Amino acid sequence: MGNSDYRIDPAKEDFYKRLIDLRTQLKDEMGNVSNQLTQLLDIEQLTLKICANATSYGIFVELNPTTSRVQRKPKCHGAESFETAIKTIEEPGKYFHPVLVI
């Protein structure tokens, strides 16, 4: 983000831990600054959040939606099983791994 304080050396630091630590640091700073600076810090912390989420889950949560004109009634499984009418089905991507998603 152009700020040398945000530099991460993946050979020495855990990339995701450092992103989350930086975000927490920014959120803490937001309570102690002016309203204009709060908005800037909020944008920065949100950027770190998106970066951490997008890179840590990434390909393992790829779901590809397919929409049809006809409603389907798939069986859904969870705490209870049930059927529901839907037009969009999400097919898991090639590397989807539900255990990592949980």
pLDDT tens-digit series, residues 64-99? 999 989 998 988 888 899 999 999 988 998 888 877
pLDDT at 11: 87
pLDDT at 7: 83
pLDDT of residue 43: 93
CA distances from 65 to 36, 55, 68 (A): 40, 21, 10
- Measure the CA–CA gap between 52 and 55, rounded to whole angstroms: 5
Four-residue CA torsion sign, 16, 18, 22, 25: positive
19 pLDDT more than 80: yes
pLDDT of 30-69, one tens digit each? Answer: 988 888 899 999 999 999 998 888 787 777 888 899 998 9
Count of beta carbons in the 10 Å neighbourhood of residue 44: 19
3-state class percentages of the chain: helix first, strand second, coil last, to nearest 5? 50, 20, 30
Domains in the chain, CATH or no CATH each: 4-59 (1.10.287), 62-101 (no CATH)
**pLDDT for the residue numbered 100:** 63
Residue with more model confidence, 47 or 10: 47
| pLDDT for position 96 | 85
